[in-house]
Amino acid sequence: MATRSTRTARSARTTSARPRPAAARGIDLPKDRALDLLRQMWEIRLFEERVYDLLGKNQIKGASHLYAGEEAVAVGAVSVLRDDDWITSAHRGHGHCHARGASMAKSEPERVEHYNKMMAELCGRATGYCLGRGGSMHIADVQKGNLGATGIVGGNIPVATGAGLAQKMMKKDSVVLCFFGDGASNTGNFHESLNMAALWKLPVVYIVENNLYGMSVPLEKATAKLEIADRGCAYGIPGEVVDGMDVVAVRQAVAQAVARARKGQGPSLVECKTYRWYGHSRSDPRAYRTKEEEAEWKGRDPVPAYSARLVKEKVASQAEVDAIEAAARKAIDAATDFAFASPLPPVEELEQNVYAPFVWSQRDVEREAELRQRVRAGGPGTRKIRYWQAIQEALREEMVRDPKVFLLGEDIGIYGGAYGATRGLVEEFGEERVRDTPISEATIGGAAVGAAMAGLRPVAEIMYVDFTPLAMDQIANQGAKNRYMFGGKTTVPMVIRTEGGAGRNIAAHHSQSLEALWTHFPGIYVVMPATPYDAKGLLKAAIRDDNPVMFIEHKMLYGIEGLVPDEDYIIPYGVADVKREGKDVTLITYSRMVHRALEAAEKLSAEGVSVEVIDLRTLKPLDMETIAASVRKTGRVVGLTEGYKTGSFISELAMRIQEELFDWLDAPIVRVCAADVPVPMSDPLEDAAIPNLARVVAGIRQALA
């Protein structure tokens, strides 16, 4: 697809209701395919009109962003896809979901099932595509290559980029269509994703549905350059503006972009000028638009316009196009009846499908306990390595074991990672599987989500945990929630490796312990190993698991040494380790603070105080069984963390113990945490800000007082 010149793009700029005339050629489709496009557009239109009516009656609840008026974009674009292609969409995603499902239906019963599942999902029924978990804004049919809609503007763009990366890495010629609105083109996700896709020549077609308003703010007040397609030239991506009210014009433009992607020539940007009939949502009074503007656009209604064109070009008779509309009305009526006759999801299933099932067995748990004792004793079959080497070995072994495993992140290639944990891997596996990325945390996280959903097992590195909030939407809202939102019909097997903690005097933006943020989100596991043995076994388990995992290392642990077994092993999640047995007080901690806890326990043992030290190893899932056994024995608890005191994970743990083990406590739980100040640079201030040996000892004494 040729890039439109700046001059041509400017002459086509649309600031009113007058988009450029359609540039489409004649209808060059077989009659049945040409009529199928009309059928799909009528079905979307009538579906949306029915939804609008049901929203007004409060029979459909929640927010719903209707697609009426934009039918030509979804139908025209999706019509050029194969069954093995993919789409992602935004929170006006009914049209995309319908077009994808309808285009893949091979028979009338399949089409009926598709309409039924669409309407049932919007009505929150158990028979919906997502079992009523996603509703309007998160509708998806992952089994048909629809990676779902998102309620976060621009949130799907990195996911599509990752799905495109997966196609390229798996040597497929499949293509990803990424639908989003004009408002999303002003987000960082848009620019980060286009840059990454251009760098790696990914088979993604980015389709901007420019309906002139993000929500209520008009395009000219929100976008410096009104032709969004022109932005592609900054990344060397072809951009084209097309009349989004003309299904044939959209089909032809997207067909060119798809053909280009299949040839390995990289991404394209297609801007479709279109218009939504309704407001942003059902409650929107549309005060920002004039009646004249709306009337002018409705005069170019894509559905009757295409009907008339079919008759004019003698593709079909008036009776035939009228019959299609009538049949569509019956289909939507039947789908509505099906939805309201369907059961609501049982409350007993509320917590189903948050996580994919564990990949390990009870025997794995028992074997790891035996192995842990052997490693603790040392001797034949074990060897001593550093923590960073344990990480590196885990990555290497899993990449050898499973060709779907790959790494991506900043400076992980030749540089070997900020702390050397990926050193030598690019030489061994090549730049295809050890991918240096731009400094684009959001798209690193989102690309991992998309690649995981599309069949790979990415291990993405975010250099410092302080930077993970930059990727929070992608990891927490997309990756962690997709399985549940989409009715348990997808898995997101990805690992986010990062490191945190203080100790190197590098101040507030590189020294935080933010694990509490990540334990808050359902759908993601949080792992924080303290030793080389734990780091290697837990990372290998994370890579094999089918859930998103936030794997947080500590910068001060990379150089410590410890024993690991020679044999292949994993450490199942939710299994804490009693690092030191005791009878007077239970000290619960994780990561670097395990070593500080052991120092404190050793110091107090000289005074006859017996401290039991529990290393949680995984914060989610949490091993309450081991904690309970210790609390019942000692009756006293100290929680130790390097995280800020307010909102720390230890505070959550203390409440769990209060709720479940209150009768066994002989004294209040004591928290030893970091001060509620940004981590300072100066050495004495940093030492005072985080729990040092003196503070840990004092906390234990307080619990015993």
Q: How far apart are CA 58 and CA 45, in angstroms?
A: 20
Q: How many CB atoms lie within 10 A of CB 21?
A: 10
d(CA 226, CA 595): 57
Q: State the angle between helix axes of 362-377 and 532-544 in degrees (0 to 180), rounded to the nearest 10.
A: 160
The phi and psi torsions of 146 (rounded to 5 degrees) equal -100, 105
Residue 248 in contact with residue 76, Cβ under 8 Å? yes
Helix axes 31-56, 302-312, angle to 10 degrees: 160
Report the C-alpha gap between 50 and 65 in whole angstroms: 13
Which position has the token pair 């203080």? 502
Separation of alpha carbons 566 and 374, rounded Å: 11
d(CA 364, CA 530): 20
Helix, coil or strand: residue 368: helix
Q: What is the DSSP letter of 431?
A: T
483 burial level (CB within 10 Å; 0-12, 13-18, 19+): buried
**How many angstroms from the chain centroid is the CA of residue 94?**
20
652: DSSP letter: H
Q: At what angle do helices 302-312 and 247-262 cross, to 10 degrees?
A: 90
Q: Give residue 184's identity as a one-letter amino acid code.
A: A
In sequence order, which residues have a C-beta less than 8 Å from that of residue 181 and are 6 or more positions away? 90, 92, 153, 208, 209, 210, 211, 214
Spell out the residues 6+ positions from residue 223 whose beta carbon is closer than 8 angstroms to its own. 182, 185, 186
Residues 464 and 479 sit within 8 Å (Cβ to Cβ) = no
Task: Report how far residue 290's alpha carbon sits from residue 47's, in angstroms, rounded to the nearest whole number.
Answer: 25
Active site residue 510: yes
Residue that is written with structure tokens 């019956």 in the block: 330
Give the span between the Cα atoms of 478 and 489, in whole angstroms: 14
**457-461/618-620 β-pairing:** unpaired
Q: Which residues of 671-692 are buried (b: 16+ CB within 10 A; e: fewer)?
A: bbbbeeeebbeeeeebbbbbbb
Catalytic residue among 510, 520, 554, 595: 510
Active site residues: 510
